Amino acid sequence: MTNFFLTEKVKALLPAYQQFLKEEVYPIELAAVTKPFRQSLPLLKNIRAKAKEKKLFAPHLSEKEGGVGLSLVEFAQVSELLGTSPIGHYLFNCQAPDIGNMELLHGYASDELKKIFLHPLMHGDIRSCFAMTEPEMAGSNPVQLSTTAVREGNEYVINGHKWFTSSADGASFTIVMAVTDATNSNPYLRASMILVPIPTKGYELIRNIPVMGEAGEDYMSHGEVRFTNCRVPVTHLIGEEGKGFALAQARLGPGRIHHCMRWIGICERVFDLMCQRAATRKLDEHRMLGHQQIIQSWIAECRAEINAARLMVLQTAHEMELSGAKAVKDEVAAIKFYVANVLANVMDKAVQVHGGLGITDDTLLSFWYRHERAARIYDGPDEVHKTSLAKSILKKYGMSFK
């Protein structure tokens, strides 16, 4: 980790997080993700309480709000460390989608909504979910939404079908993206974000979607949900009507920093497993797997890629803090696809080095391989981010795009 971004506060905190992970999290993580998740909830609740006692809980929140009070760059470095465990962010209450919803409610919700939903969310007493993606519409074109919220008196009536509403199972509310002004000539001003308490009549969790054969449950799940004449007060609007996409962009800027640093944390853990395997797996009486030149090449390339990815993300986070998310949209696009591909490459090489063991559930590799392949799809597929970045660059050379 580069010292340039390490503040004194983070230098003091990282050893505490490392020790906590080593003592409380790593010993139980594999069991937590390979058996029904709810079976582990009592244990995880106790670990969360310990994190609060040690003042490590909610590192992204201010100290006044019960958090650690880290800046974006500081939190990014803690996020990497928490990413070394598949339950790291959950245990410290800075997991997606809750962290993004906290930001939305903190910045744009009414005081009443904050009291009812934000405060217990920040304290880790409830969970939430975010309903945007639709199975009938291409997720790569987010303005294509069929879910509607029609105002009738003092209520919105919501109708629509969403999926990959992550962690909907057991959530206390969802924030849904719905079209409130279908005739607006600007497609980016047609949708709004509305908070829907769970349960609300007309809201239905259809199923937890199997991801490569694993449906999961509770926090470890992706829900398919339906809204059928689902009524909520107009006071549940987040921000202004028609500003849903603007809020989504505000949410996604820091969110992609969070995602990318978590992915780098996964890379570091997977890299460590790969190197351990290479150094200890015997090919014969005189040779270890790590004596193979191709394995050495993979290890060298992965090390360089992870280091490069980290510097890219931290630099983007630093510039975002200075100038805002809009000023670094090109950099955000670049880290999204670059780090996702580094993650895919490191995971694939680690599985290959482990051989048959790598595709079993005896290590964390298969869990991450199943669930993190989607890194190149969610929050915009790689191809969209590459196109966006290339167009932005080419415009500086005089090209125009319709």
What's the pLDDT score for residue 249? 83
Q: What is the CATH architecture of 245-395?
A: Up-down Bundle (1.20)
pLDDT in tens, 180-219: 999 999 999 999 999 999 999 999 999 999 999 999 999 9
What's the pLDDT score for residue 169? 98
By the 8 A CB rule, do 33 and 41 touch?
no
What's the pLDDT score for residue 252? 77
Q: Nearest Cα to 192, choosing from 87, 104, 64?
A: 104
What's the pLDDT score for residue 402? 78
pLDDT average, residue stretch 127-143: 91
What's the pLDDT score for residue 1? 46
What's the pLDDT score for residue 379? 83
pLDDT average, residue stretch 102-124: 97
Separation between Cα atoms, residue 402 and residue 158, nearest integer Å:
33
**Which class in CATH covers the domain with range 128-240?**
mainly beta
Asked if residue 2 has pLDDT above 80, the reply is: no
Share of the chain above pLDDT 70, in %: 99
pLDDT band at 253 (very low <50, low <70, confident <90, very high): confident
Neighbours of 283 (CB within 10 A): 11
Can you give the residue ranges of every domain in the chain?
3-95, 128-240, 245-395
pTM above 0.85, yes or no: yes
* Range 3-95 classified under CATH 1.10.540.10: yes
Asked if residue 331 has pLDDT above 90, the reply is: yes
pLDDT band at 3 (very low <50, low <70, confident <90, very high): low
Q: Residue 278: in which H helix or E strand, if any?
A: helix 244-280
Asked if residue 134 has pLDDT above 80, the reply is: yes
pLDDT in tens, 42-86: 999 999 999 999 999 999 999 999 999 999 999 999 999 999 999
Give the mean pLDDT of the chain: 95
Separation between Cα atoms, residue 165 and residue 168, nearest integer Å:
6
Q: How many C-alpha atoms does 149 have within 13 Å on its Cβ side?
A: 26
Asked if residue 178 has pLDDT above 50, the reply is: yes
Identity of the residue numbered 72: L
pLDDT in tens, 368-391: 999 999 999 988 899 999 999 999
By the 8 A CB rule, do 262 and 256 touch?
no
pLDDT in tens, 210-229: 999 999 999 999 999 999 99
Across the strands, what pairs with 75? none
pLDDT average, residue stretch 87-92: 98
pLDDT average, residue stretch 9-21: 97
